Structure 1
Amino acid sequence: MQIPAGKKIYFASDNHLGAPSRAASLPREKKFVSWLDEVKKDAAVIFLLGDLFDFWMEYRTVVPKGFTRTLGKLAEISDSGIPIHFFVGNHDLWMNGYFEEELNIPVYHKPKEFTFNGKTFYIGHGDGLGPGDTGYKRMKKIFTNPFCKWLFRWLHPDIGVRLAQYLSVKNKLISGDDDMKFLGEDKEWLVNYCKRKLEDKHRDYFVFGHRHLPLTIPLNNHALYINLGDWISYFTYGVFDGTQFELKEFGN
């Protein structure tokens, strides 16, 4: 895709709407909607890289209550013709058609490659990639197991959603407190994952969320790893203007 003159590509991740409660996250949601209102003025494409919600579960005819401001704004932007791409995170991985059917937003469960203005982007949420993190990888296999999801759906939504929200906030293995600490470049498992991917094929930009830290790390002379940060502590986002990628803080 060639970005039209005057247009940009925007990236955001890790809003965790609903945490620690809907009321507490409402100011953050309003700020995110304000950001969407701002970037729609010159957006060619918008990428949302997961954990938009702190918990999301789609039953056959039920989705979690709330988030109407965000969902309505996404619908408005999508209806206006601006493409939005959504990558599921470890908190909202139980998506199963709602975004596609109601918002016309494609949903990806694995990293995907895109090319804009001759630059190659490798994009994903980032959870479970690279070496280590074996405990979470085992947990993810349970969460994504079709039989386990089938069992969970037998819980009444009032019980299932409340239970999952509680665990999402309280359980460090799920809520990811450790993902907010910089480990050092040599120990950053997403950085190591990107370096391994470069051995197979060149990409110009590796863009991820999940780590909750705004990071820009050169992988070599021609490739860059970017972590978008979050909308809890940093309110950071990525923007590509056709030639350069930048991390910015909304409101500054």
Structure 2
Amino acid sequence: MKLPIYFISDVHLMLNDTAEEKHKRKSLYRFLNYVRTTRGTLFFVGDLFDFYFEYPDMIPKAYFDFYNKAYQLKKAGVNLRFIAGNHDYWLLDFMKEKIMNETYFDDTTFSLKGKNFYITHGDGLLSWDYGYRILKKIIRSPFFTWCFRLLHPTIGYSIAKKVSRTENHPEHSEQLKEKIRNELTKFASGHFEKGFDYMVCGHYHLNEIIDVGKGKLAVLGDWQDQPSYAVFDGRELTLHQWENNA
């Protein structure tokens, strides 16, 4: 794995071509151009797309500009790694083979420069997410996936546009954010006791690094309102705002 290693999550590329979406993509592509100059590694830590369901002979054209940009990065030597999130779990060969170098359908780990990393999108970790954990098993099951692929893509994506509306999701209250921090800290602590040095997590949009004993937990931000990224330079993991987003 090549240094530096960048991490972003919850970009939520949308199916609808709005002014806000164009602004977000412009910011994202400037960031990808920056990563390209380093020829390092880039992890997409889930929910890159607000909805992505790949059919054997069909991919959503709304993301064509991203496919092209990512493919050019890959050709330039950037190592692209994608962890499927709760919005974009249903990948097939196009994303796995043509666009990304590596794809993961669950949490993943790696070691580099004497540091051990645990990478997770993070959905379903909270103790009160009982219902979601059941739903997650259902919608990720082979049977559900098979049934959804029986739908014509136009119908499937029409349903997705109505169900998945990230731009309308409310902000977490400070009280809820604190509860989430406590839960994630507890989860990370158990892994740090097993020898991990860093945990990188998405999904919760907190945009902060939390010291947990001898380890560090990076809870990435989203790209809807606060474009940010984490980077490991071989010595330490740091979190940054992406300022070149005008």
TM-score, length-scaled by structure 1: 0.88
Where does residue 227 of structure 2 map in the other structure? 235
Retained in 1: the 8 A contact 2:109–2:116? yes
Where does residue 114 of structure 2 map in the other structure? 118
- Taking the TM superposition and a 5 Å limit, the aligned residue runs for 1:71-110 are 71-110=67-106
Q: Distance in 1 between matches of 2:107 and 2:172?
A: 19
- Taking the TM superposition and a 5 Å limit, the aligned residue runs for 1:1-252 are 7-18=3-14, 21-23=16-18, 24-129=20-125, 131-169=127-165, 177=170, 182-184=176-178, 188-199=182-193, 201-220=194-213, 222-251=214-243
Q: Any stretches of 5+ residues in structure 2 without a counterpart?
A: none
The Cα of 1:187 is off from its aligned counterpart by 5.5
Q: Distance in 1 between matches of 2:11 and 2:215?
A: 27
Retained in 1: the 8 A contact 2:39–2:77? no
Retained in 2: the 8 A contact 1:44–1:82? yes
Q: Any stretches of 5+ residues in structure 1 without a counterpart?
A: none
Alpha carbons of structure 1 residues 140 and 186: separation in structure 2 relative to 1, 3 Å: closer
Show CA shifts across 1:151-208 (max 9, x none): 11111111111101210117x9xx8646685532676332221112233x11111001
Alpha carbons of structure 1 residues 179 and 22: separation in structure 2 relative to 1, 3 Å: farther
Retained in 1: the 8 A contact 2:10–2:203? yes
**Counterpart of 2:222 in structure 1: which amino acid?**
D
Q: Distance in 2 between matches of 1:103 and 1:69?
A: 12
Q: Distance in 2 between matches of 1:227 and 1:9?
A: 16
Alpha carbons of structure 1 residues 187 and 246: separation in structure 2 relative to 1, 3 Å: closer
RMSD: 2.2
The Cα of 1:8 is off from its aligned counterpart by 1.6
The Cα of 1:68 is off from its aligned counterpart by 2.0
Q: Distance in 2 between matches of 1:54 and 1:187?
A: 24
Q: Distance in 1 between matches of 2:55 and 2:62?
A: 15
Alpha carbons of structure 1 residues 47 and 243: separation in structure 2 relative to 1, 3 Å: same
Query: SS at 2:29's partner residue?
Result: helix
Query: SS at 1:238's partner residue?
Result: strand
The Cα of 1:53 is off from its aligned counterpart by 0.5
Query: SS at 2:239's partner residue?
Result: strand
Q: Distance in 1 between matches of 2:151 and 2:17?
A: 22
Retained in 2: the 8 A contact 1:186–1:192? no
Q: Distance in 2 between matches of 1:65 and 1:192?
A: 41
Retained in 2: the 8 A contact 1:110–1:124? yes
The Cα of 1:102 is off from its aligned counterpart by 1.4
TM-score, length-scaled by structure 2: 0.90
